[in-house]
Amino acid sequence: MKTSSFIFPLLIASVPTLIHAQEVQTVKIGLAAPLTGPQAFYGKDSQNGARMAVDELNEKKIIVDGRQLRFELLSEDDAADPKQGAAVAQRFCDLHVNAVIGHTNSGTSIPAARIYNQCGLPNLTPSATSPELNKSGYNTTFRMLASDSTLAQAIAAYTVNVLKLKTVAVIDDPSASGQGLADAFRTALRNTPVKVVTQQYTNDKAVDFSAILTAVKARNPDGIFFGGMDPQGSAMLRQMEQLGLTRQKFLGGDGICTQGMEQRTAGLKVQDNVVCAHSGIALDRTPASREWKKRYDAKFPGQFQMHGPYSYDAVLAVAKAMQAANSVEPQKYLPAMSKVHFAGVMSNVQFDVRGEIKNPTISIYSYQDGKRRLAN
């Protein structure tokens, strides 16, 4: 009997392998800053910091509510102008972005904050320091650095206790750039031995300070406090040297505590008279901050000013709140902003009930041989 051997072919059902691609959720981060005009280098620095954070978050492939987040940066130019800033704020509301990093100046941030509050949009300024910003009580407004009140107290204490000046002149820029700082400095000097002998006013478009400085020279103060930004501060310092105001300390806040100030006043004898207060630690103080600066310089060579670390941390703060709330919707993650707490580039990032950064660090800088150095 012949036995037949049947070989049954193995039929492999070609069942398609369903590879479920991770659903992607686009998160739009608005960036409001002066990207044109004399303060464009500040705005570009803020934009760079935010761009770094967005790129790094996208590399990490963060998952929220089961979807991978893809962060997208939308930049708008407010030209450091309050009216244009308000228009930018309304545009971001209309676009339904998920958060806004900005604005750069106090004068643009204050009117914009009202608009963001009306549309329930969290906004984090990397640089606006006026105490008025958070007096409105908007729960949508957050500040990434110390306010003018804190900066002014630090520079006033240094003026009294270290420099031991007896008289100062105050030059106030109450425009979008310097709003609030000079007032805070005068307040901080109350009940101290230092007397304010004259007060002068300018603006963020001025280039000629000869009349102001001539009036100041007549009072012969020991120091001159300028509540403004470095495009005006550097020109003012140059004109001080020309007018023979060479013994006076030139005091200010973070607006004159920039690499731009250092570069624009290079070669001036009076550069060594500059003393300024800046929120946060010096970038060379910790390994983490040094590494961050190295990454920034590699990505944006020659563009660092001072606001980049704060806009970087602001984007991270938003991302952490979204993760904590498991939602990218502003009304859902906004309550989680009060629980954000992490080690940022310049300081610990944690907000109080008013949206102010908790326990800000203040660094005092002076100049020696053409180089800015930590003084405290």
How many Cα atoms occupy the beta-carbon half-sphere of 137 within 13 Å? Answer: 0
Distance, CA of 239 to CA of 50 (rounded, Å): 36
Domain containing residue 307: 24-146+285-360
Residue 15 lies inside a defined structural domain of this protein: no
Residues 161 and 257 in one domain: yes
Percent of the chain with pLDDT over 70: 93
Cα Rg for the chain, rounded, in angstroms? 26
Tally of domains within the chain: 2
Closest to 144 (Cα-Cα) out of 29, 49, 27, 227: 49
Q: What is the pLDDT of residue 203?
A: 87
Residues 116 and 164 in one domain: no
Q: Alpha-carbon dihedral of residues 75, 76, 80, 83, nearest 10 degrees?
A: -150
Q: What is the mean pLDDT of residues 290-312?
A: 95
Residues 274 and 165 in one domain: yes
Residue 16 lies inside a defined structural domain of this protein: no
User: Per residue in 332-348, pLDDT tens?
Assistant: 999 999 999 999 999 99
Last residue of a domain, one of 245, 262, 279: 279
**What is the SS3 assignment for 167?**
strand
Residue 130 lies inside a defined structural domain of this protein: yes
Pick the range with the lowest mean pLDDT from 26-30, 212-216, 231-235: 231-235
Pick the range with the lowest mean pLDDT from 170-184, 305-319, 343-357: 170-184
Residue 89 lies inside a defined structural domain of this protein: yes
Residue 372 lies inside a defined structural domain of this protein: no
Residues 178 and 142 in one domain: no
Which tokens belong to 235? 């020109």
Residues 174 and 259 in one domain: yes
Residues 170 and 119 in one domain: no
Between 285 and 223, residue with greater pLDDT:
223
Q: What is the pLDDT of residue 285?
A: 84
Q: In the predicted model, is pLDDT for residue 13 greater than 60?
A: no
Residue 255 lies inside a defined structural domain of this protein: yes
Residues 125 and 246 in one domain: no
Residues 156 and 268 in one domain: yes
Q: What is the pLDDT of residue 21?
A: 58
Q: What is the pLDDT of residue 179?
A: 55
Q: In the predicted model, is pLDDT for residue 84 greater than 90?
A: yes
Between 251 and 16, residue with greater pLDDT:
251
Q: How many helices (H) and strands (E) does the chain have?
A: 11, 15
Q: Residue 178's pLDDT band (boundaries 50, 70, 90)?
A: low
Q: In the predicted model, is pLDDT for residue 10 greater than 50?
A: no
Q: In the predicted model, is pLDDT for residue 194 greater than 70?
A: yes
Residues 267 and 316 in one domain: no
Q: What is the pLDDT of residue 223?
A: 98
Percent of the chain with pLDDT over 90: 77
Last residue of a domain, one of 279, 307, 328: 279
Residues 176 and 238 in one domain: yes
Residues 31 and 139 in one domain: yes
Q: What is the pLDDT of residue 130?
A: 87
Residue 165 lies inside a defined structural domain of this protein: yes
Q: What is the pLDDT of residue 255?
A: 86
Q: The domain spanning residue 177 has which CATH number?
A: 3.40.50.2300
Q: In the predicted model, is pLDDT for residue 102 greater than 50?
A: yes
Between 47 and 205, residue with greater pLDDT:
47
Average pLDDT in the chain: 91
Residue 366 lies inside a defined structural domain of this protein: no
Give 305: exposed, middle or buried? Use CB within 10 Å, 0-12, 13-18, 19+.
buried
CB atoms under 10 Å from CB of 200, counted, come to: 17
Helix locations, 208-307, DSSP H = 210-219, 230-242, 259-264, 287-299
Residues 173 and 137 in one domain: no
* pTM of the predicted protein model: 0.85
Q: What is the mean pLDDT of residues 143-154?
A: 93
Between 16 and 366, residue with greater pLDDT:
366
